[in-house]
Structures are given as structure tokens and as C-alpha cells.
Amino acid sequence: MSSLYERLGVEKSATTDEIRRAYKDLAKQKHPDRGGNPEEFKQIQEAHEILTDEQRRRMYDLTGSTNEQGGPASGMAAGGIPFEFMSGMGPFGMPGVAFDIGSMFGGMFGSRGPSGPGRRPKHPKGPNKHHDVGLTLSDFYNGRDIKLKFNQARKCDGCKGTGAATGGTESCGSCGGRGVRTHTHMIGPGMMAQQTGPCDVCNGEGQRVLRPCKSCHGKKYVEREKILDIQIRPGMRDGQTLVFAGECSDSAEYEQPGDVILTLKRADAPTSELDQWEWRGNDLWIRKQITFAESVIGFKRTLEGHPSGKTLVVGWRKGALVHGATLQAPGWGMPQQGGGTGTCFVQIWVQTPQPREWSVEERDQLRELLGGEVQTMDAEDVVPLQPSSLDTRN
């Protein structure tokens, strides 16, 4: 396609007047009313229109485009950046697109966004602190009062947590007292991003301390010794938690301090199977060893270390006991929450007699007492039994 200048038959350096004159002459010759080609006449008209418009002529000279907006029809500029992004002016007069990263991600200020000038928004509640409280079975049985001592920071009463003496502040010059500042970053060619965040000079407070508070020396918080009274009551359980609401330290990040949560833990847990008190629900369990003869004729035992502190003597005389049999002493278990006491279970551990050779007289006596047939082990039709690994007795 011929250039706009060629269409009108003028030089590229032609003045606007020269272009107008050339157009007038051509129009007379090429007008369709006078038998000219309508398409050719349209092209002459277009050339005249563009070249007599100072701005469009300059754009045409630069880009060769006859497009109204001055860019190639595809909308792509030479650098490959989508043309739309280049339109408009970014911050500081630079072409670009302004993003507010804070609003894009929405999370920089928590869910609420900046909450007014001068205040760095806080999370509502601080994290809880967990501690285990080690207790003996006897503590759980009888109850116990414990004092837990720790250092607790509280907002200074003298300055209400500002850290400044009365009238001892001035507006932060860096953020104009707003507590927030907007930073601009280049995030790509011609693309600017705006990020709004807490002012780093005043830490988002909007105020600068000139004269610090005398009570807290400008620290905003005062540490003091805090004593928690922990009352272990009979009926409380191993693993139970006690919540002391808001007893963590105050801090700048949270509107409310977290809770101190104590978990009651039995510290004297059983280490071996025999003679150890096991706590199950409301009940106490203990395994007691008796001799084989006692399993037959009955026994009496003192159960040491009952958590009540009382001496518990138990006895049985109502028939033979097999290994693993369970007897009970109601009322000797653990205290229950709503009153009452669980059961003490005694599991019998029968001690197997040492192997020995019984004399004929002893065998006869035992058989007479306990029953049994006359044994003639020498007979040839007897299959002698062997020890089995399935024997769980010990």
C-alpha cells in the first residue's frame, strides 16, 4: 500500500498548507461524481485527514500506523508489553499499573484491614501456655493446694501502655501520625506495586516517645510476680486440665493475653507389675503375690502405700484361687467427682512352688488333703509331659 504522502503526491516534509492544496487538486480530479474510483478517493480522503491532524501525522511518522490510538492493531508495543498496561500513569509519574499488595493479599493486617490511623491492628488473643503439674497418687486422693509462681507482664498503669509520660509524645514525622506508610516497588518492567504497611519508624504506633513513662521506663509493660492458686480436689483425674483465663503476659501483638492451661499428671506412675498402685477410672488395682499354699488355704496381706495413707490389710479365706484371680475391697478405690469412692481390686499372683522331690509320705499327705489318684509314673503307657512355651505362669 502506498504511503499517505504518496497518495497525495507530496513530500514527507510538506507543510499542512501544501497537503491541503494537494488534496483539493486531487479531489477535483478523482471525485467519484466526476468518474473517479471511489476506493482510491477514500484513500486520498484518509491521507488528508491524518496528515492535516498534527498529532495523528506525528504518530504516523513514528509508527507507520494510521490507527486512531496510534499503536499497531494488535495492541502490543514494541517491547512486547500489553499496550493497555502502559496507558495511564503510575506513581511518581511513571507509566505502570498500581497494585495495592495489601489489598491483593488481604492478610497483612489480619482479616480486618488497617483499623484506623496510628494503630497497628492486633490479633485478638495471644497463644495459650501449657504446663504439666506433676502429682502423686496421694495428691489426687487427698487433694492438695499448690502455688505456681511466675513472672507476668501487664500493661503499665502509669502510661496505659504507651510507654510515654503524660504529654510526652509527638506525632511520628515519618508517617504523619497515621502509623502506616505506603511503599512503592517496581515489580516488573513498567509495573509498579504499592504496599501499605505499618510505619517502621514508629512501629505503627503513629507516635514517638519524647519522655518515657517513669513507671515502666518506656517499656509499656511492667513485669510482676504472679502466683496462681491451684486447688487439686479429690475426684480430679490424671490428665485433667485447669484453665486460668488471661493469665499469660500482655503483649503488643495481642489485644488479650492467652490462658495458662495446666494439665494434672500423675508423676509416680507404676514401674513394675507387683505391689504398684494402678489407677483405672475410679478404681485402684494392685497385683499381689501369694504362695501356692496360700492360694489353697487363704492369705492375709498388708497393701503398702495406699494413697489414703491408711494401712490396708486384706485377707481371703473362701476357697482356692487360681493365678490371675481378682478379689475386691469396695470403698478403697479413688474418690469420685460427685462423692463416693471406687473399688480396690487385688489381682492374685500365685507363686509357683520350687521343684522338689516329694517323699512318698508327703505325696500321700497332699493327696489326702487335696485329692488325686495314686500315681504310678513308672508304668509304660504314661506319656511324660514336657514344659510348654505357652505356659504364662511365672
**What is the nearest approach in angstroms of Zn ion to the Cβ of residue 197?**
11
**What is the nearest approach in angstroms of Zn ion to the Cβ of residue 262?**
30
Based on CB atoms, which residue is closest to Zn ion, 144 or 208?
A: 208
Based on CB atoms, which residue is closest to Zn ion, 252 or 314?
A: 252
Based on CB atoms, which residue is closest to Zn ion, 57 or 119?
A: 119
Based on CB atoms, which residue is closest to Zn ion, 58 or 214?
A: 214
Q: b vs e for 318-343, b when ≥16 Cβ sit within 10 Å of the residue's Cβ?
A: eeebebebebebeebbbbeeeeebbb
Q: State which amino acid sits at residue 258.
A: G
**What is the nearest approach in angstroms of Zn ion to the Cβ of residue 170?**
11
**What is the nearest approach in angstroms of Zn ion to the Cβ of residue 257?**
17
**What is the nearest approach in angstroms of Zn ion to the Cβ of residue 212?**
8
**What is the nearest approach in angstroms of Zn ion to the Cβ of residue 303?**
60
User: How far apart, in whole angstroms, are the C-alpha atoms of residue 1 and residue 5?
Assistant: 11
Based on CB atoms, which residue is closest to Zn ion, 135 or 172?
A: 172
**What is the nearest approach in angstroms of Zn ion to the Cβ of residue 165?**
8
CA 7 to chain centre: 74
Based on CB atoms, which residue is closest to Zn ion, 215 or 351?
A: 215
Contact 193, 187 (CB under 8 A): yes
**What is the nearest approach in angstroms of Zn ion to the Cβ of residue 164?**
8
**What is the nearest approach in angstroms of Zn ion to the Cβ of residue 178?**
7
User: How far apart, in whole angstroms, are the C-alpha atoms of residue 329 and residue 331?
Assistant: 6
- Binding residues (CB under 5 A) for Zn ion: these are 156, 158-159, 172, 174-175, 199, 201-202, 213, 215-216
Based on CB atoms, which residue is closest to Zn ion, 157 or 304?
A: 157
Based on CB atoms, which residue is closest to Zn ion, 32 or 116?
A: 116
Based on CB atoms, which residue is closest to Zn ion, 181 or 306?
A: 181
